[in-house]
């Protein structure tokens, strides 16, 4: 199955830190450089090309998972709202971004966020400090676990 454009899949096996996991899902954070601390990703364990490729079980779970993660991202970061997007373009392994949208920072608003994302990737503006991003991700996982246990989530067995 073709996965990433370059033939390597960074999510499979998860080459990233897994903050929470279930039989069908993993909670990750956006890798550095990340524009905003608290930028999380929810990914399927299996390769899925998009939302229309989810299994019936995954499709039933994705809504409650995203609702819980969005609530936790908002609580942890103090964001007024969150965004949820998925492209699966660079990596053909379904991953849904949950992004804090700060009311006092216009660069986190709507499509301005895309500009900020690209400027961060080009190192034109500083990313969130890795320590802050890591701390926020751990806090989101801790906050979300109570709601996600019912869906089979737990802290990873290793790491
Ligand atoms: Zn993969």
Q: How far apart are CA 46 and CA 24, in angstroms?
A: 7
Structure confidence at residue 15 (pLDDT) = 72
DSSP conformational letter for 103: T
pTM of the model: 0.91
> How many angstroms is it from 41 CA to the middle of ligand 1?
14
Residue 47 · residue 3 · CB < 8 Å = yes
Residue 90 confidence class, pLDDT cut points 50, 70, 90:
confident
Interstrand relation of 95-101 and 81-85 (parallel, antiparallel or unpaired): antiparallel
* Alpha-carbon distances of 40 from 6, 37, 100, 141, rounded to whole Å: 23, 9, 9, 10
> How many angstroms is it from 111 CA to the middle of ligand 1?
28
Pair of tokens at residue 14: 């998860």
Segment 120-135, tens digit of pLDDT: 999 999 999 999 999 9
Burial of 53 (0-12, 13-18, 19+ CB in 10 A): middle
Segment 4-61, tens digit of pLDDT: 445 678 887 667 899 999 999 999 999 889 999 999 999 999 999 999 999 999 999 9
> How many angstroms is it from 98 CA to the middle of ligand 1?
19
> How many angstroms is it from 15 CA to the middle of ligand 1?
10
Residue range 20-151, CATH number: 3.30.428.10
Residue ranges covered by each domain of the chain: 20-151
> How many angstroms is it from 93 CA to the middle of ligand 1?
5
> How many angstroms is it from 2 CA to the middle of ligand 1?
9
Structure confidence at residue 47 (pLDDT) = 92
> How many angstroms is it from 96 CA to the middle of ligand 1?
14
**Greater model confidence, 14 or 152:** 152
Those residues with Cβ within 8 angstroms of residue 139's Cβ, 6 or more apart along the chain or in another chain: 76
Q: How far apart are CA 5 and CA 50, in angstroms?
A: 15
> How many angstroms is it from 105 CA to the middle of ligand 1?
34
> How many angstroms is it from 94 CA to the middle of ligand 1?
8
Neighbours of 12 (CB within 10 A): 18
DSSP conformational letter for 88: -
* Mean pLDDT score of the chain: 91
Structure confidence at residue 12 (pLDDT) = 79
Structure confidence at residue 159 (pLDDT) = 52
Structure confidence at residue 5 (pLDDT) = 47
Structure confidence at residue 89 (pLDDT) = 86
Residue 3 confidence class, pLDDT cut points 50, 70, 90:
very low
* Across 74-96, average pLDDT: 93
């Amino acid at each position: 199955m073709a996965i990433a454009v370059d033939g390597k899949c960074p999510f499979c096996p998860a080459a990233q830190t897994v903050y929470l996991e279930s039989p069908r899902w993993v909670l990750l954070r956006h890798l550095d450089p990340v524009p905003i601390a608290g930028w999380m990703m929810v990914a399927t364990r299996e390769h899925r090309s998009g939302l229309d490729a989810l299994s019936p079980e995954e499709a039933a779970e994705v809504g409650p998972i995203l609702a819980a993660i969005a609530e936790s991202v908002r609580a942890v970061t103090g964001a007024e709202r969150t965004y949820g997007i998925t492209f699966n373009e660079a990596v053909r392994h379904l991953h849904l971004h949950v992004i804090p949208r700060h009311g006092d920072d216009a660069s986190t608003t709507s499509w301005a966020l895309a500009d900020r994302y690209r400027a961060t990737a080009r190192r034109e503006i500083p990313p969130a400090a890795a320590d802050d991003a890591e701390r926020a991700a751990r806090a989101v996982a801790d906050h979300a676990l109570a709601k996600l246990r019912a869906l089979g989530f737990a802290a990873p067995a290793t790491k």
